[in-house]
Amino acid sequence: MATYDHCIIGAGIIGVSIAFRLTQAGRSVLLVDRKGIAEETSRGNAGALAFADVEPLASGGTLMKAPKWLFDPLGPLSMPIGYAPQMVPWMLRFAYASLPGPHAASTRAQVALMALARSETEALLGDAGIGHMVRRDGALYLYEGAAALKAAHPLWKERQRHGVSFEAVHGERLAELQPGLGASYTHGMYVTDWWTVSDPHDYARALADAALAGGARFEIGNVAGIAPGPRSVALTLDDGRSLEAGQVIVAGGAWSHRLTALLGDRIPLETERGYNTTLPPGAFDLRRQLVLPADGYVITPLATGIRVGGAVELAGLDRPPNYRRSEAMLRKSEKVLPGIKTGGGTQWMGFRPSLPDTLPVIGRSPGNPNVLYAFGHGHLGLTQSAATARLVADLALGREPAIDLRPYRPERF
């Protein structure tokens, strides 16, 4: 007989959210992670609950901009030349997903997932008692001049079509939303349905604490083997320990494809490495998250300081960090906020688990019904964590899923 009803591999924000919902349902849950609770991407992300981000990254617009970005080694998108051959299959899939038909289908799926994320996050905050850790003060997209804002109109028109609320701002209204902006940032879009957490690591840890208080258990371990049986799944850790659960849920973020390969499921997961610098509290009077779409980064007020970071580096899991990218974004932030104090910061690099069509994998392993997958959320893991937890709990408990899961099925590739 299995020791646990469910074993969740991965204790980032996706894994702990699932654990909380399953313990709420009275199930026995074990969380296993190779490093600790929220010690990877969930430790240092930008902290946004970006429900307005309904457009897939895989799009014609991204394809048009990508060549220019790739020629700037410290720009919004970079890729070491030695890693390019490995990226070719993923990029071909990305290009296909950017065609009008696939892009429209991905957009519909993203809109559905975001709507569920909004409502499920609201419910989770109350159920876990962590609502005080969320700021509901919106985000401010910044543009250098009216022409730059006009060029972004297709994005905002698409968001408006899907019910996203925003306000075009300039002059006194812009200064009211964020005093002290650099003179070149003259126009903005203020998005109201956009929240930030007090600190993503603290938030994930608090949610994990709620799951542990509900009866979940946690162990540090690196899964080296998965052996599904007719009624349970056996796991082998690399230190020789064995575990058994009625169901296993793979929520290992950027490492998940290494686990699915053990089951014969080849899923084209790649790693978008993101960089940031967290400045000490008081570095600037930052009122809300600032989004710099032209440069692909954000500036976020956290309880623990001000975080400047983002951008994308396609370089896999094994290459050493290139912290020049953190330094470049910090230098750019001085133009956005001329009075910002950029000393005393802490640099960080994390791995975003990304699939070529921008959508996560949520569903059962095709040949192993007792193994569920929940990974590949790219830039939106925190945003979509509560929705993913609801959907995985629906599957695990034999309920009808809250939304159609076909767009996120593992076998779509």
pLDDT digits (tens, 9 = 90+) for 106-157: 999 999 999 999 999 999 999 999 999 999 999 999 999 999 999 999 999 9
SS3 percent helix, strand, coil of the chain, rounded to 5, is 40, 25, 35
Angstrom CA distances, 365 to 7, 31, 384, stand at 15, 19, 20
- Which residues 6+ apart lie within 8 Å of 110 measured at CB? 54, 55, 56, 358, 359
pLDDT tens digits along 187-198 = 999 999 899 999
Confidence tier at 374 by pLDDT (50, 70, 90): very high
Domain residue spans of the chain: 4-138+193-412
* pLDDT above 60: residue 1: no
Taking each helix axis from N to C end, the angle separating 381-396 and 13-24, rounded to the nearest 10 degrees, works out to 40
What pLDDT is stored for residue 342 in this prediction? 97
What are the two backbone dihedrals, phi and then psi, of residue 314, each rounded to the nearest 5 degrees? -90, 95
Q: Would you state the structure tokens that stand for residue 282, as one six-digit string?
A: 């008081």
Confidence tier at 378 by pLDDT (50, 70, 90): very high
- Which residues 6+ apart lie within 8 Å of 307 measured at CB? 44, 46, 47, 276, 277, 278, 279, 298, 299, 300
Place of tokens 């910090």: 330
Q: Would you state the structure tokens that stand for residue 294, as one six-digit string?
A: 């032209």
pTM greater than 0.95 (yes/no): yes
Measured distance CA(38)–CA(61) in Å, rounded: 33
Fold of 4-138+193-412: FAD/NAD(P)-binding domain (3.50.50)
* pLDDT above 90: residue 73: no
What pLDDT is stored for residue 2 in this prediction? 67
Cβ(8)–Cβ(235) below 8 Å: no
Mean pLDDT (the chain, rounded): 96
Please count the residues of the chain: 413
Cβ(359)–Cβ(106) below 8 Å: yes
pLDDT tens digits along 280-338 = 999 999 999 999 999 999 999 999 999 999 989 999 999 999 999 999 999 999 999 99
